[in-house]
């Protein structure tokens, strides 16, 4: 076997190892991202749907179900919750013919998710402080609520 052939085989093996390492890294990042989002969104299913929509853009319930491996009925239920929470947008799919026109869903930017979650957390924390003050019968001054969360949205 010539040196050139050996060099080509070594390069191919190195390329395969690098490709495998990249795939494992992406899988690890995806798993970490899903776990982090699941914690923030209080559901692994919501996290998977959100990541799918960020990755693939506008999609129907059936496309999301196929892409995530989640049952279509579960996707329908959770995507409606996400829509009501303002985590996804939806619009009617324009199609010819009779029958029900499905919705196309898209995820809002991550910075908007953080804003929504921080507002919700801020309200909950303020409610705790207000309740605590009421329990101690202290005067409550609304403009001086103790918790304020500020999000810098320089990047979307």
Residues 56 and 115 occupy one common structural domain: no
Computed on alpha carbons and rounded to an integer, the radius of gyration of the chain in Å comes to 24
When pLDDT is averaged across residues 21-39 and rounded to a whole number, the result is 60
Q: What is the CATH number of the domain that holds 89?
A: 1.10.10.10
Of 59, 123, 65, 63, the C-alpha closest to 88 is 59
Residues 70 and 104 occupy one common structural domain: yes
Report how many domains make up the chain: 2
Residues 26 and 63 occupy one common structural domain: yes
Q: How confident is the model at residue 44 (pLDDT cuts 50, 70, 90)?
A: confident
Residues 91 and 114 occupy one common structural domain: no
Q: Could you give phi then psi for residue 44, rounded to 5 degrees?
A: -65, -35
- Model's pTM, two decimal places? 0.62
Residues 53 and 67 occupy one common structural domain: yes
129 belongs to a structural domain:
yes
Q: How confident is the model at residue 40 (pLDDT cuts 50, 70, 90)?
A: confident
Helix 44-56 vs helix 3-41: crossing angle, to nearest 10: 130
82 belongs to a structural domain:
yes
Residues 42 and 118 occupy one common structural domain: no
| pLDDT tens for each residue of 96-109 | 767 778 899 999 98
Residues 91 and 26 occupy one common structural domain: yes
21 belongs to a structural domain:
yes
Residues 84 and 125 occupy one common structural domain: no
Task: Note the pLDDT of residue 79.
Answer: 96
Residue predicted with more confidence, 66 or 98: 66
Residues 81 and 149 occupy one common structural domain: no
**Strand, coil or helix: what is 155?**
coil
Q: Which runs of E-coded beta strand occur in 63-109? A: 88-92, 103-107
Residues 83 and 64 occupy one common structural domain: yes
Which structural domain, as residue segments, surrounds residue 114?
A: 109-156
121 belongs to a structural domain:
yes
68 belongs to a structural domain:
yes
């Amino acid at each position: 076997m010539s040196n050139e052939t050996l060099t080509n085989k070594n390069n191919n093996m190195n390329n395969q190892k690098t490709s495998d390492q990249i795939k494992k890294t992406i899988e690890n990042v995806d798993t970490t991202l899903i776990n982090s989002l699941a914690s923030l969104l209080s559901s692994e299913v919501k996290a998977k749907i959100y990541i799918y929509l960020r990755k693939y853009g506008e999609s129907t319930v059936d496309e999301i179900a196929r892409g995530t491996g989640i049952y279509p009925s579960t996707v329908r239920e959770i995507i409606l919750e996400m829509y009501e929470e303002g985590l996804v947008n939806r619009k009617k799919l324009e199609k010819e013919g009779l029958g029900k026109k499905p919705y196309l869903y898209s995820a809002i930017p991550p910075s908007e998710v953080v804003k929504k979650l921080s507002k919700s957390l801020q309200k909950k924390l303020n409610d705790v402080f207000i309740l605590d003050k009421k329990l101690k019968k202290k005067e409550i001054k609304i403009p001086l609520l103790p918790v304020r969360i500020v999000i810098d949205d320089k990047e979307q």
